[in-house]
Structure formats: C-alpha cells, structure tokens
Amino acid sequence: MDKISTIILASSLIIIMLGMGLSLVFDDFKRIIVYPKAIFVGLTNQLIILPLIGFAIALIFPLRPEIAIGIMILAACPGGPTSNLITHLAKGDIALSVTLTALSSFVTILTIPFIVNFALTHFLDEGQMIRLDVVETIIRIFVIIVIPISIGMIIRRFKEGFALKMAKPVRKASGFVMALVIIGIVIKERENIIPYFQQAGIVALLLNVTTMMVGYYSSKLFSIKNKRAISISIESGIQNGTLAITIAVVLLGNSEFAITPAIYSLIMFFTGGAAIYFGLKRSKATNS
C-alpha cells in the first residue's frame, strides 16, 4: 500500500484506541484484585495459548508463507474494542472483558515483536528474510496504542460527559475507515484474493473457533461462572484484526501479510454472532 494508505491505517488504529480509552476508567485496572483467577485465565489464553494454537495451525496446514505469517500476526494481537461490544451483546461480564482488553493491549507491546519475528524467521526463506526491529517496534506500537488509550482515559477522567458522548461516533468513524482499508487490501491483492481466501478463510475460522472454545472450557476447568466464562471465551477468540493489519502494512510494509487478518475481520462477525446467540441462550436459561 502507498504512504497515504499507510498513514490512514495507522490513524484509524489510533482513533480506535482513543475510543477504547474513552470507555475506560482507572478502576478497570483494579479488577486484577477483584477477579484474580478470571484475569489470570484470560491473559494466559490471550498471551500464551492463542499464539501456540496459531503456530500449530500454521504448521498443520500446507499454507503459503504469507498466510502462515498472517495467522501468527493475528495470534499476536488478542482482544480489541470489538470483543467488548460482542461481550456486551452476549450478556457476558463486560467489566472483565474491558479489563482483559486493556491489560492485553499494554502487555502485547512487548510480546508482538518477538512473536512476529519468530514467525518471519520460521516461515520465510533466507532470501526473503525481513525482521522487525524490536525496540523500534515497541516504540511505534506504544505510540499507536498506549498513548491514545491514555489520552482517552484522561479525557474520561476529567470530561466524563464529553467522553461518553464521543465514544459512539469515534467507534463508528474508526469502523468506517477500517472497512475502507480492508476494501483497499482486497483491491490491491485482487489477483490472489480467491486462492488466499480459500486458504486464509479456513485457518482464520479455525483459529477463531478453537480459541473461543479453549477460552470457554478453560474457564469452566477453573470453576469460573457463566458470565465471566463467556467474556474469557470472547476475549480469547476475537482478535484485534485492525492491529494485525496495521502491523502487516505499516510495520512490515507487506499487504500480503494483511490478507489473513482482513479475511478474519469479516469472519469474526459471523462467529461473534454465534457467540452472542450462545450467550443470550445461556442468560435466558439461567434466569428462567
């Protein structure tokens, strides 16, 4: 993608993170003490089990290197504002969901460069080799994630009415820009999109469904109640496709790596819908 498209994509992610910050308060981080078991299980799924499942899928299926790397980039980017919305609609524990999203957003600043570099080293030939500069990547992700979230939280702290009023328009604007970016990627890779979709669609769906199931049943294993189990399932299975596309296009400069996250960003609305249906069904059964 050209420089203007890259700037638009980075700006879109900054707006999305700012919008997430507008929905956060400092008390959200105190929930580490309130829900220590749920937070531990959720973060373990997001930061350790998710990349391991992504790597296993990339190894098991005969994938093109760019698809395999796209899966690993996606697996390095858990959570995101979309997971909070789906959790809310599915009658999950929204406070837990928001806390997991916020914590994973901060922690992945450190984990993303290492997971992505591992994928690049493993799946690319020596002649194709590229690597992320770890320090530079941490700084750039800090700028596009932590700073906007922090600004959003400060605005929420001192101008709560304004923050609540702006949260929805900001979310809509960022979603519109993200849709344009995905369309742009599809147009640029239109010659390869059908074979890419055949490969990436299956593995992206498998990553999504597998991690949601692992999230739910690992919660049950640790006796975590229904609402929190639903939140952990969604946080484990709904990845931050916007961040993954930004890493591929902005940090790695390769739109082919963004194909899997772009396709995933479409698929997750269907699996998210299934999660909402399941959550509502569980909620009705519990209340009846």
Domains and CATH numbers, the chain: 3-278 (1.20.1530.20)
pLDDT value at residue 209 = 93
pLDDT value at residue 182 = 67
At 146 the three-state DSSP class reads helix
What digits encode the pLDDT tens for the residues 180-208? 666 766 666 666 667 777 778 889 999 99
| Nearest Cα to Cα of residue 28 among 82, 78, 101, 85 | 101
Q: Is pLDDT above 70 for 1?
A: no
CA–CA separation, 164 vs 147, rounded Å? 19
Q: Is pLDDT above 80 for 103?
A: yes
Q: What would the two tokens of residue 49 be?
A: 């089990």
What is the pTM (predicted TM-score) of this model? 0.82
Q: How confident is the model at residue 59 (pLDDT cuts 50, 70, 90)?
A: very high
User: What's at 276, amino acid-wise?
Assistant: I
* C-beta separation of 257 from 246 below 8 A: no
User: What's at 206, amino acid-wise?
Assistant: L
Q: Is pLDDT above 70 for 4?
A: no
What digits encode the pLDDT tens for the residues 120-162? 988 987 655 677 777 888 888 888 878 888 888 888 888 878 8
Q: What would the two tokens of residue 24 be?
A: 């956060």
Q: How confident is the model at residue 218 (pLDDT cuts 50, 70, 90)?
A: very high
Taken in order 270, 272, 274, 280, the sign of the CA dihedral is negative
How large is the average pLDDT for residues 242-256? Answer: 84
How large is the average pLDDT for residues 34-46? Answer: 88
CA–CA separation, 200 vs 193, rounded Å? 10
Number of C-beta neighbours around residue 8 at 10 A: 16
pLDDT value at residue 73 = 94
Q: What letter does residue 35 receive in the DSSP assignment?
A: S
Average the pLDDT over each of 27-36, 109-118, 228-237 and give the range with the smallest value: 27-36
78 burial level (CB within 10 Å; 0-12, 13-18, 19+): buried
Average the pLDDT over each of 10-19, 42-51, 236-245, 279-288 and give the range with the smallest value: 279-288
